[in-house]
A = this chain, B = another copy of it.
Amino acid sequence: MAKYFPVLAEAFGRLRTELAGRPIAIIGHARPDGDCIGSQVALARVLAAAGHDVICVNADPVPRRLTFLTQGLTFYRTDDVLARDERRAAIYVDCADHARAGERLKAHYAVPAACVDHHLSNGGFATLNLIDAGAAATCEILAGMFLDAGLPIDALTAQALYTGIVTDTGQFRFPATSHRCFLLAGELVERGASPAVVGYELYERETAGKLQLLQLFLASLRVECEGRVCIGRLPAGIFAETGTSGEDTEGMVDYARSIEGVDIGVLIEERPEGVVKASLRAKDAAYRMDRIAAAFQGGGHACAAGLSIKMDTKEFHTRLLDLLREQIRVVATATKET
């Protein structure tokens, strides 16, 4: 039987040998998503089954809609770990760089034992780096490595891995969704992952407030740059008004991008103390959302990036539109030349 990740098999074997018997901290990124929590849960369960003392650590809490995966595990916050001065072998998952989990965790776990990740920009900041930028999700890598190594995958582990693949492929529709994604999803369903339960937990447990927030966001949509950009705004105070939180904006920017003819969707949030937060989504990687975000000290992928900056909203709006207009011009010129 061919391996799913033949290049990583040797390193994963070495990781298991070198960490044998040691207590482990599995660290995810700030504002954790389904692939982050799914990866942490799955790796924690597999390592715990192999006899390790394992904890999971994040700068931010596990989002409400992902708590169905965390039963039986302890998720620590940064303060808990620093207060207890927990010393463990650290494995970073789904983090493109060491700082993605926060500077304080970076300082505490200064030499990570390993990282498992699928981000193109990951340069390999750990002792052992298990990276495949061709994978759609870190959970895809973990699922493949577990199967390649013949490790048992129980139903909740399968559910966690499946959740990561579902969320990071946008329900199997982002460009990185491959034959391998489907093969692995099938294997996980065979082992007890339930597409219906995952779908229910992720998408059918909304609050009335979240739908109200979505409604207000949709009402705010404005098309700019001759129909190529669509921007929606969530003004200051809207979370309090609707009984929601920043977590509830997840996926909202996709509506802005979904309009025919629109190439770039933007969500702008006015946060307290003059902070502007923005999510940028492009239909095509040529628009380089990561670069646009970087102009405001943000980052991300070519099609999906984000930023958070102290700036007047109007000024931000103007500067963002200038950059987007210029980028659209650059792409149009490049397209004409080829």
The residues of A with any CB-CB pair to B shorter than 8 Å are 166, 169-175, 177-183, 185-186, 189-190, 195-196, 198-200, 203-208, 211-212, 214-215, 218-219, 221, 223, 255, 257-260, 283
Given A178-B189, A189-B178, A207 and B260 contact (CB-CB distance below 8 Å): yes
CB distance from A274 to the nearest CB of B (A): 29
Given A183-B182, A186-B183, A259-B206, A196 and B211 contact (CB-CB distance below 8 Å): no
Q: Give the distance in Å from the alpha carbon of A182 to the alpha carbon of B158 in the complex.
A: 15
| Residue picked from A178, A215, A283, most chain B C-beta under 10 Å | A215
* Structural contact, B183 and A260, CB atoms closer than 8 A: no
Q: Contact partner of A173 among B178, B199, B205, CB < 8 A? A: B199
CB distance from A318 to the nearest CB of B (A): 23
* Structural contact, B182 and A186, CB atoms closer than 8 A: yes
Listed from nearest, the 9 A-B pairs whose CB atoms lie closest are A173-B199, A182-B186, A215-B218, A177-B195, A171-B171, A175-B196, A205-B260, A206-B258, A182-B185
Which chain B residue has the least Cβ–Cβ distance from A180? B186
CB distance from A256 to the nearest CB of B (A): 9
CB-defined A-B contacts under 8 Å, sample of 13: A171-B173, A172-B185, A173-B196, A174-B196, A174-B199, A175-B196, A177-B189, A200-B283, A204-B283, A207-B259, A208-B223, A211-B255, A215-B215
Q: Give the distance in Å from the alpha carbon of A80 to the alpha carbon of B180 in the complex.
A: 44
* Structural contact, A186 and B196, CB atoms closer than 8 A: no
Q: Give the distance in Å from the alpha carbon of A182 to the alpha carbon of B175 in the complex.
A: 17
Which chain B residue has the least Cβ–Cβ distance from A171? B171
Q: Which residues of B contact A180 (CB under 8 A)?
A: 186
Q: Give the distance in Å from the alpha carbon of A175 to the alpha carbon of B196 in the complex.
A: 5
Q: Contact partner of A218 among B172, B212, B223, B260, CB < 8 A? A: B212
Q: Give the distance in Å from the alpha carbon of A295 to the alpha carbon of B199 in the complex.
A: 30
* Structural contact, A195 and B172, CB atoms closer than 8 A: yes
* Structural contact, A173 and B186, CB atoms closer than 8 A: no
